[in-house]
């Protein structure tokens, strides 16, 4: 258990805290959100395309002849591409997403990566989550944002990870972030044979215990936050009326819950989701097409739902993947770990269009795309233009922002 997050699972054997609902709900309703003008009602939704999504078959450079030379089997035919301009277009399975793009609600940032890229899933994911390509960080970039924004501590839902574990991106020094896989299983795991909530708190306060630790009280506080959150969240979002039909998939269920949280005005600033795996070493087309189809249908339903409640301009969605794939297809009609890939920015506050330069397919880095946009530029853009916070201390330097957000 950590200061910056708590593990959650099935609710069992947990005691009820008297008057928690009244006290917490009142405090939450009265708590003002800090920040600069225009930032207090905005929400960032981050979707991690886990496993390394192939950017070249997502945003397809059909106007570059080298694309078909490198991908004779898995390349997407020119006539099938959903064209954006004379050079690039979207995978045909992204038709609902293309409608959002045509409506000016999608910015595509091309060639996103970082210097001296790492091809390990674990290390590259860590780099993207911490915004630190060199060395190691104990907190995530979003966790540092939460600490910097000094959000109200009485709000247990300043940020929420809609996943079964807390992602490294949301690890912070001062903010507890719940990891919620689903509402019905949201709660602390408890084993009655080994004691319950009251027994743990009695142990913490028992002066006769032969040893003391400064961390016991902190653990007890985190446990209390988790317990109260498990009791409160289902009640706080219960009145939300869904206005779209979401696919019955993990991503669809996560985005439906995200819309509930946004629409219930809980003061949540960041929501984190995951989708995948996109690790397509073998028969890439079947796997990627299925995952991209699901993404397109889910994100379309999400913004339809948000718009019906007047929330579509409040919510910015950003996608990322730990790396792209190599340019040449392999012998198994798949692609191996690569480097640069596109990032999507989606929402009513987006200035739609293409941003950055598409990597040159004739100038590869050992078979990989050479990045043209540093991923910390994207983070700086989101932090400064959307969340209205200074980015220097969060991303570890000064990076120019993109004109992709209002």
Predicted pLDDT at 28: 37
* Domain boundaries of the chain, sorted by first residue: 31-151+237-395
* Residue pLDDT, tens place only, 253-302: 999 999 999 999 999 999 999 999 999 999 999 999 999 999 999 999 99
Global pTM reads 0.85
- Give the max Cα distance, the chain: 77
pLDDT of residue 232: 74
> Cα angle vertex 38, ends 36, 41, to 5°?
105
Q: What is the pLDDT of residues 47-58, one digit of tens each?
A: 999 999 999 999
Residue in 293, 334, 324 with CA at minimum distance from that of residue 71: 334
pLDDT at residue 22, as a whole number? 33
pLDDT category of residue 35 using cuts at 50, 70 and 90: very low
Do the Cβ atoms of 273 and 48 come closer than 8 Å?
Answer: yes
Q: At what angle do helices 284-308 and 250-263 cross, to 10 degrees?
A: 20
Task: Give the residue-averaged pLDDT of 132-153.
Answer: 94
Task: Please give the angle made by the CA atoms of 312, 313 and 314, to the nearest 5 degrees.
Answer: 90
Could you give the CA distance from residue 69 to residue 329 in angstroms, rounded to a whole number? 10
Neighbours of 290 (CB within 10 A): 12
d(C-alpha 156, C-alpha 133), whole Å: 31
The overall average pLDDT reported for the chain is 86
Structural Rg of the chain based on CA atoms = 22
Dist CA 124 CA 118 (whole Å): 6
Tens digits of residue pLDDT in 162-214: 998 999 999 999 898 999 987 666 655 555 544 455 555 555 566 666 666 66
Locate tokens 């969605």: which residue? 317
* pLDDT value of position 203: 55
- pLDDT value of residue 289: 98
Say if CB 34 and CB 150 are below 8 A apart: yes
Residue 200 confidence (pLDDT)? 53
Class of the domain covering 31-151+237-395: alpha beta
Distance CA 131, CA 137 (A): 8
Residue with tokens 């200061």: 3
């Amino acid at each position: 258990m950590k200061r910056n997050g708590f593990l959650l699972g099935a609710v069992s054997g947990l005691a009820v805290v008297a008057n928690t609902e009244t006290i917490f709900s009142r405090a939450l309703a009265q708590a003002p959100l800090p920040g600069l003008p225009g930032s207090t009602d905005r929400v960032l939704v981050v979707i991690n395309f886990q496993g390394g999504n192939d950017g070249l078959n997502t945003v397809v450079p059909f106007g570059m002849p080298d694309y078909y030379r490198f991908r004779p089997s898995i390349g997407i035919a020119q006539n099938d591409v959903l064209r954006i301009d004379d050079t690039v277009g979207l995978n045909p399975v992204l038709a609902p997403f293309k409608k959002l793009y045509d409506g000016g609600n999608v910015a595509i940032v091309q060639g996103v990566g970082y210097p001296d890229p790492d091809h390990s899933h674990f290390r590259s994911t860590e780099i993207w989550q911490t915004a630190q390509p060199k060395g190691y960080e104990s907190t995530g970039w979003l966790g540092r944002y939460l600490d910097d924004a000094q959000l109200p501590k009485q709000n247990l839902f300043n940020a929420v990870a809609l996943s079964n574990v807390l992602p490294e991106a949301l690890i912070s020094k001062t903010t507890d972030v719940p990891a919620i896989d689903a509402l019905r299983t949201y709660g602390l795991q408890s084993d009655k044979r080994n004691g319950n909530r009251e027994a743990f708190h009695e142990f913490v306060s028992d002066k006769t215990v032969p040893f003391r630790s400064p961390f016991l009280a902190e653990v007890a506080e985190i446990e209390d936050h988790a317990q109260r959150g498990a009791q409160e969240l289902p009640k706080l979002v219960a009145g939300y009326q869904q206005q779209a039909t979401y696919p019955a998939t993990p991503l669809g269920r996560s985005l439906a819950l995200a819309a509930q949280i946004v629409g219930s005005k809980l003061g949540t600033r960041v929501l984190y989701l995951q989708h995948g795996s996109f690790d397509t070493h073998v028969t890439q087309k079947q796997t990627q097409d299925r995952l991209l189809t699901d993404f397109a249908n889910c994100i379309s339903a999400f913004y339809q739902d948000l718009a019906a409640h007047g929330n579509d301009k409040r919510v910015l969605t950003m996608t990322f993947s730990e790396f792209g794939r190599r340019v040449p297809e392999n012998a198994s009609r798949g692609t191996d770990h690569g480097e640069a890939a596109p990032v999507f920015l989606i929402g009513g506050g987006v200035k739609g269009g293409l941003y950055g330069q598409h990597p040159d397919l004739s100038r590869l880095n050992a078979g990989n795309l050479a990045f043209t946009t540093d991923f910390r530029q994207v983070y700086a853009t989101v932090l400064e233009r959307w969340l209205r916070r200074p980015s220097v201390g969060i991303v570890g330097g000064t990076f120019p922002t993109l004109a992709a957000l209002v």
